[in-house]
Structure 1
Amino acid sequence: MFISSEPRILTAGDAIVEALIANGIDAVYGLPGAQLYPLFDALARRADRIRTYSARHEQTCGYMAFGHARSTGRPGVFAVVPGPGVLNAGAALVTALATSTPVLCLTGQVPSAFLGRGRGHLHEIPDQLATLRGLTKWAARIERVEDAPAILDEAFVRMLSGRPGPVAVEIAWDTLGQSAPIRALGPATLPAPLAPSADAVEAAARLLVAAERPMIFLGTGARHAGDAVRELAELLDAPVTAFRGGRGIVPESHPLGISAVAAHALWPETDALIGIGTRLELPYMRWTGMMRLIDRPVAPPHLVRIDVDPEEMTRLVAHAPILADAETGTRALVAAVRRLAADRPARDGGARRAVIAAAKTQARARIEGVQPQLGFLDAIRRALPDDGFLVPELCQVGFTSYIGFDVRRPRTYVSEGYQGTLGAGFPTALGVKAAHPDAPVISVTGDGGFLFGVGDLATAVQEGLALVVVVFDNGAYGNVRRDQKTAFDGRVLGSTLTNPDFPALARAFGVDARTAITAADLERELVSALAARRPTVIHVPIEPDSEVSAWPFIHPR
């Protein structure tokens, strides 16, 4: 914020922008409207410190902020009008909630005299604040201009403390433009990472020292704990896997890094499971059919969990829970295991690692049949540097990427999490590219999902975002069409699509357009497109109903 201990006369819009700057925000994704004019004017006057990216739909604003936050670990901020604007962006908020991603929604409200009166003022919806509280970790209203700095700082504390997640701040139309003396508060002060109980760590360590075939599952909450996780894995000779958010923390190039398919093969013999910053969606939901609730797993395997969220520990009750930040908790566990194991015979790490290596080889051989998707993913991997970003979408190639794409660094695989939001991939990728302008970013989408937000090709051009979008076009919502044909005597309704000429559509927006038929074509076009550093759409036509389903590996029986 401004450097002065003396108050300055500022509008609420100026105070909000200064609080954003004080908290390290350098980008806002927004779509202006009447209730937010003073905020956008304040952003325009502080363009030296904050760049405002303007999208063509509020959902895109939200998902761009989500992509920014998901790929950086730092808060993503978006601003949209109240009512329909907030509702349009609501999918991005619940996606951020699902993936523990720090996103701040700034929105307006009806004039203060109209709050709660139901008069039908512009963009009014019943109790918008209650709606926002149902979609976020925390939401508040700025009632007075003087309160703006404190409420913004509180938003950052709530967003980043404990389990990260989205928050929202609303302000009445008239209040936003009012002025008052504002005193600088500086950046929000965050609490120290939650440290574990020594007794909890000791109990978990005793289980792990006694185990012979432990396994580690990682989620989003472990992304900052990579060194500690690798140390624990190597100490235990434990394979390490993840489904979406935790991928790349221990990459599959590491001897102990394994895919979800290899993990499932090793699951029956696993006698201890360590979940770090994860809901453990695979072993206790997807691998059990998705219809049976398991909230108190029965050993074996014994379940050890490290999680910063106390509520999460009640949703899936571990045999040895450690309530702590992932890095702090994992380092404490490493120290305890090392101490307790010193008095025991050494593990036969070589034999265990041979079993893990065989499982990895066999898993890759099994998924080779998921074609043509795996061939396309291999082409993308060859074209994309290790520090490049892949943003998948709910499409056949996207689903296959859960099990068949080699993620080499944390945060470089930016998925939608359990919300499974069709249409989220392309706008999320725009935000990833905005946050990483010099890094290669590839959006993988299907024909159905891409059309949810295709208008924001204009945003890519307008904002100079050199995103490469690969559109796999099978003329259908492929998964729905397959399920309908399989389960309902071949009857299909609403899943077969009539599509535009995608290359011509891209060119109409001023976007480079290319076509690829084979995996070799795609690799060649990707290398060329990434080098050109221009917004690009690569159209990949796929014969309808020709793709082999990846679902037997995602929901194995």
Structure 2
Amino acid sequence: MSKNGADLIVDTLIKNGVKHVFQLPGGKLGPLLMALKKREKEIEVITVRHEQNAGFMAQGIGRLTDRPGVVMTTSGPGALNLVTSLATATSDGDPVLAIAGQVPQTKLHTPYPQNPNIAGVMNDATLTKYAKEIQATDTLADEVANAYFASIDGNPGAVFMDIPGNILLDQTETEGLAFLKLADQLGNTVMENEIISEVAAKIKKANRPIILIGARADTKEAATAIQDFVTKTQIPVVETFQATGLLTKEFDKNYIGRVGLFNNLPGDEAVYNSDLVITLGLNLVEYWASAWNNDDKIIIDFDTTIDHLDEAFIPETLVLGNIAKNLQSLTEIIETSTISEDWQGTIAILQEKLAAKKAIPAKTSENSLHPLEIVNSLQNILDANPNTTVVMDGGSHEVWMGSYLKVYQPKHFLMSDGQQTLGVGLPWAISSALVRPNEKILSSGGDGSFMFSAQELATVAHYNLNIVQLIWVDKEYNMVEFQQELDYDGQEEGVDIDYIDYKKMAESFGIKAVRATNKQALDAALTEAYASNEPMVIEIWEDNSQNIHLRDKVDMKKI
């Protein structure tokens, strides 16, 4: 049956399991929206309030499913508004398929409205892995397939297709392609036994081995393999902020916390004190090697791709392919063991230090909450409700939560280690709620970062999503403020922001909201939020006086 180019694209998306398309309407997007309307029982169109947020929502789908989230925009400013979200997805390693409607080919690169060279803008490796202006209707299914695979191959990231209006409207006899089974086979390779045996021998010789988990290992299959490996070897574990949740509570005895960002946590000290580092799916943007390898440590790298190599990161052995399968092969042949008493003693010291750092101070403010009080309240509600997806926006609140809040499931702790972009929190929460409708989504933002995407409360209300949005209020861009004070002799500039009544703002969207200025009120608000499947906003007044210590330097020394 004859169809137009837009129909062909939508048919291909549906045949490959795409359930949601995020979009903000525009004239050049019309053919695609009409094609989606014909198939509305098979694919849902999510209408948002800003294209950047639509891109973040697609990134959230990519993060949670390991398959590209799909965003569509109109030409000109609509597509240009995707730049930040696509750069964030590529940096963080999340697959996204972005499609823009464009002016007709006869008007390309002429003085015509909404007609910048979008493919040219997007064709930068730091923004996308693939960007192309499509030239023919009959090739559209092929182009979607190639863009799709580019987004998930190696280190995942964003891809972009710019499609002129006449290409979308022209008729074609071509059928949509189904390639999902082939995509499921990607990255399933395993290393030969000789390499696995070599790794086992090197681990046996090490005195102070450590496991460093990164974002590309954040899957259920890898979590199972890691747990089996740790059970057999008892090697201690640290994780990047973006790779949290791969160990269950029973492995707390092996866990030393998180690493990265300011390089001043007990986990960072553990890596410093090690002599062999087993990296699992480490995206170096999460934890750049020069921060932890200045003494030529032995590195064994399990990964799906070869990451950036430099003088601080040249793995002695590269175990390339499926992380879970390769690690399981290692577990099968490695000897059951325990770590040395010396290394056990060091780990115990660092675990005690981690517990002390997350303890609530004896004296706190009466009219605002210490960040560790907030973390404690959140930990309590998560322990009681483990099927919660935690989503964090950028800012100092993210450092507190990223350093000390624990979850025990893969892909249930979302944050940006790459671009560290402000505004990702609420959009990611929206896509999480769509993927996991039976889970509570706990979204956290500061009063600075939240306002980047606050308009999407309208989207939350419209779709009645099961989201609790926390807003940490301190009336400053505090993450920047305390670093200015440290770098410029106590001076700060341009970081103060006015207070907005966030409770009233949320209520104006038709969303229940409460304000918490002490821990008792916060605990009560969280209990109320979890008793309902309705969205809720909790405005938290934060005492940020201790945030400056988030960047305290640690005197790295051998323990």
The answer to whether the superposition gives a TM-score over 0.5 is yes
Q: Quick one: which of 277, 280, 283 aligns to 1:279?
A: 283
User: 8 Å contact 1:251–1:258 — kept in the other structure?
Assistant: no
Task: Give the gaps of 5 or more residues in structure 2.
Answer: 259-264, 362-368
> Are residues 1:144 and 2:144 paired?
no
Distance in 1 (CA, whole Å) between partners of 2:556 and 2:151 is 36
Q: TM-score, normalised by structure 1?
A: 0.89
Partner of 1:39: 32
Aligned to 1:214: 209
User: RMSD across aligned C-alpha pairs, in angstroms?
Assistant: 2.5
Q: Deviations over 1:33-53 (max 9, x none)?
A: 111101011111211011111
Q: Indicate which of 230, 236, 239 corresponds to 1:242.
A: 239
User: Are the equivalent residues in 1 in contact too, given 2:394–2:421 (CA < 8 A)?
Assistant: yes
CA deviation vs aligned residue, 1:150-173 (integer Å, no higher than 9, x gap) = 211222222223332221222102
**Alignment CA distance shift 1:545-1:460 (3 Å):** same
Pairing of 1:191-202 with structure 2 (within 5 A): 191-192=185-186, 193-202=188-197
CA–CA separation in structure 1 for the residues paired with 2:481 and 2:339: 49
**For residue 255 of structure 2, what is the aligned residue in structure 1?**
257
Q: Which amino acid in the other structure matches residue 309 of structure 1? A: T
Q: CA contact under 8 A between 1:374 and 1:397: conserved in structure 2?
A: no
Which whole-Å CA distance do the structure 1 matches of 2:556 and 2:508 have between them? 43
Structure 1 alignment gaps of length 5 or more? 1-7, 289-293
**Structure 2 CA distance for partners of 1:544 and 1:303, relative to 1, 3 Å:** closer
Q: What's 1:125 paired with?
A: 116
Instruction: Name the aligned partner's letter for residue 276 of structure 1.
Output: L
Deviates more, 1:131-140 or 1:501-510: 131-140
Comparing 50-59 with 93-102, greater Cα deviation is found at: 93-102
* CA 1:556–1:37: 2 relative to 1, 3 Å: farther
Aligned residue number for residue 303 of structure 1: 299
How far apart, in 1, do the equivalents of 2:217 and 2:279 lie?
Answer: 9
* Alpha-carbon contact 1:251-1:406 (below 8 Å) kept: no
State the shift of 1:282 in Å: 6.8
Contact 2:79–2:118, Cα closer than 8 Å, also in 1: no
Tell me the distance in 2 between the aligned counterparts of 1:172 and 1:548: 51
Q: Decide whether the 8 Å contact of 2:122 with 2:131 is kept in 1.
A: no
For the residue of structure 2 that corresponds to 1:418, the secondary structure is coil
Q: Is contact 1:372-1:548 (8 Å) kept?
A: no
Which of 18, 21, 24 is the matching residue for 2:17? 24
Shift of 1:140: 2.9
- Cα distance change, pair 59–69 in 1 and its aligned pair in 2 (3 A): same
2:366 aligns with none
1:86 aligns with 2:79: yes
Q: Answer with 327-336 or 70-79: which moved more.
A: 327-336
Amino acid at match of 2:142: A
Letter in 2 for 1:533: N
Residues 403, 553 of structure 1: 8 Å contact kept: no
SS for the counterpart of 1:510 is coil
Change (3 A) 1:449 1:210: same
Tell me what 2:41 maps to. 48
1:165-203 C-alpha deviation (Å, 9 max, x unpaired): 221222102211222112243234234423224443333
C-alpha deviations, 1:426-458, integer Å up to 9, x for none?
Answer: 222122112212210011100011111111111
Residues 470 and 280 of structure 1: CA distance in aligned 2, closer, same or farther (over 3 Å): same
Matched position secondary structure for 2:173: strand
Query: Take 2:123 and 2:462, find their aligned partners in 1: how far apart are those partners?
Result: 30
Report whether the alignment pairs 1:205 with 2:175. Answer: no
Report the Cα offset of residue 539 of structure 1: 0.7
Secondary structure in 2 matching 1:245: helix
Relative to structure 1, the CA distance from residue 14 to residue 282 in structure 2 (aligned partners, 3 Å threshold; closer, same or farther) is: closer
What is the Cα deviation at residue 556 of structure 1? Answer: 7.4
Match of 2:532 in 1: 532
Matches within 5 A, 1:394-543: 394-543=394-543
Contact 1:473 1:539 in 2 (8 A): yes
C-alpha offsets along residues 223-265 of structure 1, whole Å, 9 cap, x if unaligned? Answer: 2211211222233321111122211112465122330233233
**SS at structure 1 position matched to 2:514:** strand
- Residue 90 of structure 1 deviates from its aligned partner by 1.6
1:97 aligned partner, one-letter code: T
User: How far 1:547 moved relative to its partner?
Assistant: 4.1
- Contact 2:9 2:176 (8 Å CA) reproduced: no
- 2:510 is paired with a residue whose SS is coil
- Count matched residues: 534
- Equivalent runs, 1:253-402 vs 2, <5 Å: 253-254=250-251, 255-260=253-258, 261-280=265-284, 284-285=288-289, 287=291, 298-299=295-296, 301-312=297-308, 316-336=313-333, 338=334, 341=335, 347=338, 356-368=347-359, 372-384=370-382, 385-402=385-402
Distance in 2 (alpha carbons) for counterparts of 1:523 and 1:555: 36
For residues 275 and 493 of structure 1, do their structure 2 counterparts lie closer, same or farther at Cα, with a shift above 3 Å needed? same
- What amino acid maps onto 2:62 in structure 1? A
| Percent identity over paired residues | 24
Name the structure 2 match of 1:185. 177
Residue deviations 1:83-130, cap 9 Å, x none?
Answer: 322221221111111221111111122211233x3x232222235245
TM-score, structure 2 length as denominator? 0.89
Q: Secondary structure at the match of 1:195?
A: coil
Q: Secondary structure at the match of 2:133?
A: strand
Deviations 1:31-86 (A, max 9, x none): 11111101011111211011111000001101111122212333211111233222
TM-aligned CA deviation for residue 507 of structure 1: 1.2
| CA deviation profile, 1:286-321 (whole Å, cap 9, x unmatched) | 846xxxxx7xx643x311111121354568311222
Between the aligned partners of 1:120 and 1:298, the Cα distance in structure 2 is: 58
Compare 264-273 and 173-182 and name the one that shifted more: 264-273
- The one-letter amino acid of 2:380's match is R
